[in-house]
Amino acid sequence: MKKKIISFPHMGNYYIPIKYLLTKLTNCDIMLSPPITKKTLELGSKYSPDFVCIPFKYNLGNYIESLENGANILMQCGGGCRYGYYAEVQQQILKGLGYNFEFYSLTENDKLAAISMYRMFKKINKKLSIVKFLYYTILTLKMISYMDKIDIYIRANIGFEEEEKSFENLLKEMHKDLESTKGFIHLRKTYIKYNKLFRKIKLNKPSNCLKIGIIGELYTCMEPFSNYFLEKNLAKMNVEISRRTNVTYLVIKKRFNTKKILRECGNYCKYTIGADGTDNVSEARMLAKKGYDGLIHTKPFGCTPEIGAMSILQKVSKKEKIPILYFTFDSHTSEEGIKTRLEAFYDMIKMRRENNE
Amino acid sequence: MNNKNTTIGIPKALLYYKYNDLWESFFNELGINVLYSPETNNEILERGKSLSIDESCLALKIFMGHVDYLVNKVDYILIPRIECLKKHEKLCTNFYALYDIVNNIFNTKILNYNIDVKKGKTEKKAFIQIGKSLNKSHVEILTAYNIAKNVFKESKKQRYFDQLNLLNTSTKNKILIVSHPYNTYDKLIGEPIIKLLKKQNTDIIYCDVFDEEEIKNKHTHISDKVYWTYSKELLGGLVNYYKHIDGIILLTVFPCGPDSLTNEMCMSKINLPIINIIIDELSGEAGLQTRIESFIDIVNEKKKVKNN
Amino acid sequence: MNNSYVGIDVGSISTKGVILDNNNKILASVYLWTEGNPISAVKKIIKSLELQIKGKNIVIKGIGVTGSARKLIGTILGANIVKNEITAHAVGTISIHPDVKTILEIGGQDSKIIIIEDGIVVDYAMNTLCAAGTGAFLSSQAKRLGVDVKEFGNIALESKKPTKIAARCTVFAESDLVHKAQIGYKKEDIIAGLCNAVVNNYLNNVAKEKKIKAPIVFQGGVSKNEGVVKAFEKELNEKVYVDECGHLTGAIGIAILSKKENSNIEFNLNIENIKFENKGVECKKCPNNCDIICIYKDNTLIDSWGNKCEKGDSIQPANVNQV
């Protein structure tokens, strides 16, 4: 029988925990899709429906590149909006292109549930026990939550490092260590070690630095290639960055805080407005109250829930007096245009700040 | 509140085309005046466009134009908020956000109801909610709701019956329109296409006219995993009529999220003449006529081949 | 000796240059086509500026560059400030109209709106979707109708009943236009319709949700089109100002910004005989195929950019000759 090789689409650095989980739960080879490049997007766009949103195109590009490299099992784990329906359509398109593969989706009816996940892994690895499944799933979630915690610190401070690349290099070391995680205690030790090391990195940070919050659709927030390395560019401008959207938030925190989030929206939302729209309205209002200088909202072209959120965010921006820069990404977004807007946004919030002081 | 003078405004857009029979008889039974916005016209479209985010779906932009028409003409504007109609199903998020979008853009009183079946908020409860906010008694509301529900069912049944009749008797080309009712029956979106089709000597079959029991699970022939209630209905309807029609028009407004994916599934699984017409904010009909005519030519050719 | 400041605005279609004195008064100015070659355009600009200030007792204390080729030209001129055109335009306009509240701009490729309160930018937006409704769009439609785009404004003013044109997307607009022309609409009505469409498109897209308050200044190439100006005034119900030197505001703004840098260096404008070359190198180390731009001054590499990842680091700048 042919060796089973699993692959999955990229999103930021999350390939590390996903690869870890798949290694532990299946007896297949795990193949990382090649890093996203322009070619990935070109491939994805070429075979995607016309006005489907851009995460679909990136995912499809990842799949094609993996299949070309020999993968024969593909996974999808998106959900929350039309993302949850990607799997079937992508499968259909790839079959149409003549590839031979199995396709598994971690979500069912647009929801991520432990039991359906277990059933799915059981299909790939018949010997998998529920205990082992739960152990490694929870361990992986813990790993993700540590990674996200570190990322929050990095985002707030990377713009002020004294020595260039000190954050980037240390993060790479941490990722390497995480790959060889042995269990909960070992994982925690790794976290504590790196948490200390990150905090030791020398900073040159003024107490009144400019602060920018990033909100918006999850994929364009979290996959740097898809937002033209927005956070890296902001860091170069010496800005403190904050972003609530991460996997820990979407998979765990959000579930238990629906009511609180809706409350945080104040009068702007009576109901949840779909996908992560409500979360972004609440985050915008909260960051405005915390005195942030500006917000950047990212979304794929045609993202229904975020377009809905935008009509509300425009009012938040006006009433709470916080400027919001809206970015829409699709396969022919001009990078130069993004940079110009970003620079102008920075100039604007800087002038506003100077004027208020 | 004095009900005699209360007028509810209903925007003639989006869910109006699905639920108006229900709404109309419900308010009628309760003795409440209803004012409808007119059929979509250019002014409504332009107002809607200027009030909406540029990338919004055209149907939502049109809806905004209708709301704008009603503001200051009525006491309340009816804006339903629907998240979930059946377990394990969803609607497009525009229907989740409709109330809050309108509430943030307009300064007007809204008569609002909320349906979210997975959280126990059923349609019945939703109607009690609006009845209560109109100061009606529980008994009055339930009586009105039950009557309205019956009228709604009957009218659906009648439309389905008529359509079956047409299918059985028609000798012309039968073209199935697969589209959300708010597109199909809109004066600016669907009507020009239907007119052009009729000129081509065809009979039109509407995908959104169906018997719920009959189409149950039929969507799986095209898509197994789709979870949007309205998309499921359309795909189910498509499968249901599939054997009795000569061609299919997928009519989509730009940039509809669910349609962007389900259209792909339809195009790859259907073996009948099929075109996908995407309507943006076109003011002209340039090109449309050519597309429809050539489509009907294809339908005729295929028929000839089949009959030989 | 009088201190003065040079501002250069290098756009995709035209390049503009000014020299300002300490009081922001224009001492010299020049405007010419970029013709796809920003370096030679800037050389010509500098030469012309120099001629205009010849014999006056002037030292250059700052050079600022803005516009789409700002980075390239900034490197070549050794500018002390390189900034995006949105900020430069705002600063330039405020220096001419201190009380301006709204700047509308429609240029060759893009359009923007800038909202100003008390002399600072508080909000802005740029076109997001495509080039529909920009100068390039108008020129291509003019060609289609067989009219010189410079005549557009005057022809539009003759129309009594502008035709409705769908201008949300260039492709749709073209087919609509052809259709309307074929079914016999008058040329002036179609052209006036196009001007209205440009304005409506702008207001519904770029300027959406922005509070447009007077005084309003309209800039960019399209502002020379009387038809569009009239359409704006009708839609906004306000006077719309178009400056004679509106095309220079970006350059003026960046010159002012370079003054604010308070640099103590004296700049030398003598670049005419220096050979500048920019070479695009395609990095083949991953499928991104980054275009790395390397700038040479008399055959020595002085700067390079365009690289996305570490893989290309070795290509720039020192090892470039080996590629």
Task: Identify the pLDDT of residue C322.
Answer: 35
- Considering only CB atoms, C179 lies closest to which of B50, B280, B284, namely B284
Q: Using CB atoms, which chains have 3+ pairs under 8 A with C?
A: A, B
Q: Examine residue B146 and state whether it is found in any structural domain, yes or no.
A: yes
List pLDDT tens digits, range C6-55: 999 998 778 999 999 999 999 999 999 888 888 889 999 999 999 998 88
In this predicted structure, which of A227-236, B137-146, C113-122 has the lowest mean pLDDT? C113-122
Range of the domain at B272: 170-307
C1/B134: higher pLDDT: B134
How many domains does chain B divide into?
A: 2
- Calculate mean pLDDT across residues C110-131: 80
Residue of B nearest to A95 (CA): B268
Separation between Cα atoms, residue B127 and residue B144, nearest integer Å = 9
pLDDT of residue C71: 87
Closest chain A residue to the Cα of B267, Cα to Cα: A49
Contact B252/B279 with Cβ under 8 angstroms? yes
Judgement on whether residues B241 and B187 belong to the same structural domain of the protein: yes
**Per-residue pLDDT tens for A4-30?**
999 999 999 999 999 999 999 999 999
Q: What is the mean pLDDT of residues C277-288?
A: 78
When mean pLDDT is compared across A240-244, B268-272, B287-291, the lowest value belongs to B287-291
| Alpha helix stretches (DSSP H) within chain A | 15-25, 38-47, 54-68, 86-96, 114-124, 130-157, 166-179, 184-200, 218-222, 230-236, 247, 254-256, 258-264, 277-289, 304-319, 335-356
> Which is it for strands A240-243 and A211-216: parallel, antiparallel or unpaired?
parallel
For the stretch A246-296, pLDDT in tens is 999 999 999 999 999 999 999 999 999 999 999 999 999 999 999 999 999
pLDDT of residue C312: 66
A152 vs C176, higher pLDDT = A152
Q: State the best of A348, A349, A350, A353 to mutate against chain C, taking most chain C CBs within 10 Å.
A: A348
Domain ranges for chain A, please list them.
5-128, 132-205, 208-357
- The answer to whether domain A5-128 and domain A208-357 are alike in fold is yes
Going by CATH, does the domain composed of A5-128 fall within 3.40.50? yes
In B, minimum Cα distance to A105 occurs at B225
- pLDDT bin (cut points 50, 70, 90) of residue C128 is low
Can you read off the two tokens belonging to residue B191? 């009507």
Chain B partners within 8 Å of C168 (Cβ): 280-281
The pLDDT confidence band at residue C306, using thresholds 50, 70 and 90, is: confident
Identify the closest residue of chain A to B89 by CA–CA distance.
A109
Asked if B147 and B195 sit in the same domain, the reply is no
Q: Which H/E stretch holds residue A225?
A: none
pLDDT band of B160, cuts 50, 70, 90: very high
Q: Taking 60 as the threshold, does the pLDDT of residue C323 lie above it?
A: no
Question: Are both B7 and B106 inside the same structural domain?
Answer: yes
Cβ contacts below 8 Å, chain A against chain C, sum to 55
Residue B242 has pLDDT above 80, yes or no: yes
Confidence grade of residue C320 (pLDDT, cut at 50, 70, 90): very low
**B269 shares a domain with B209:** yes
Q: What is the pLDDT of residue A342?
A: 92
Best residue in A304, A318, A327 for a mutation probing chain B (most B CBs within 10 Å) = A304
CATH number for the domain harbouring residue B271 = 3.40.50.11900
In terms of domains, do B228 and B125 share one?
no
Q: Which of C169, C178, C180 is the closest to B280 by Cβ? A: C169
Mean pLDDT of chain C: 84
Nearest to A299 by CA among B55, C57, B80, C257: B55
pLDDT value at position B248? 96
Q: Say what the pLDDT of residue B159 is.
A: 96
Ramachandran angles phi, psi of B243, nearest 5°? -75, -10
Q: What's the whole-number average pLDDT of chain B?
A: 93
Contact C179 B282 (CB under 8 A): no
Q: Is residue B69 located within the same domain as residue B143?
A: yes
* B79 and B134 both lie in a single domain: yes
For B62-91, the pLDDT digits (tens) are: 999 999 999 999 999 999 999 999 999 999
pLDDT of residue C321: 40
- What integer is the mean pLDDT of B104-121? 95
Chains in contact with A, where contact means 3 or more Cβ–Cβ distances below 8 Å, are B, C
The CA distance from B196 to the nearest CA of chain A, in Å, is 25
Is residue C274 very low, low, confident or very high in pLDDT (cuts 50, 70, 90)? confident
Q: Which residues of C touch B42 (CB under 8 A)?
A: 164
The 3 state secondary structure assigned to chain B is CCHHHCEEEECCCCCHHHHHHHHHHHHHHHCCEEEECCCCCHHHHHHHHHHCCCCCCHHHHHHHHHHHHHCCCCCEEEEEEEEECCCCCECCHHHHHHHHHHHHHCCCCEEEEEEEHHHCECHHHHHHHHHHHCCCCHHHHHHHHHHHHHHHHHHHHHHHHHHHHHHHHCCCEEEEEECCHHHHCCCCCCHHHHHHHHHCCEEEEECCCCCHHHHCCHHHHCCCCCCEHHHHHHHHHHHHHHHHCCEEEEEEECCCHHHHHHHHHHHHHCCCCEEEEEECCCCCCCCHHHHHHHHHHHHHHHHHHHHC
Q: Check residues B42 and C308 and name the one with the higher pLDDT.
A: B42
CB < 8 Å to A348, chain C: 87, 121-124
Q: Do C166 and B49 touch (CB under 8 A)?
A: no
Residue from B276, B217, B203 nearest B245 by CA: B203
CATH annotation of A208-357:
3.40.50.11900
Whether residue B8 is found in the same domain as residue B138: yes
Mutation for C interface: A41, A54, A331, A347, most C CBs within 10 A: A347
Q: Is there a single domain that holds both residue B14 and residue B138? A: yes
pLDDT of B282: 60
Which candidate, A85, A70, A81, places its Cα nearest to that of A30?
A: A70
In a domain, B156, yes or no: no
pLDDT at B8 over 50: yes
B77 with B16, same domain: the answer is yes
Percent of chain A clearing pLDDT 70 (strictly above): 100
- Looking at residue C319, its pLDDT comes to 44
What's the confidence (pLDDT) of residue A89? 95
Q: Are residues B186 and B80 in the same domain?
A: no
Look at residue A177 in the predicted model and tell me its pLDDT: 96
Please answer whether residues B90 and B83 qualify as being in contact, where contact means their C-beta atoms are separated by less than 8 angstroms. yes
B200 and B267 belong to one structural domain: yes
Q: For chain B, say whether A259 makes contact (Cβ under 8 Å).
A: no
- Residue B163, domain member (yes or no): no
The CATH code of the domain that includes B133 is 3.40.50
Strand residues in chain C grouped as ranges (E): 2-10, 14-21, 26-33, 58-66, 81-82, 102-106, 111-117, 120-126, 216-219, 240-241, 276-282, 291-297, 300-305
pLDDT digits (tens, 9 = 90+) for A95-120: 999 999 999 998 887 778 888 899 99
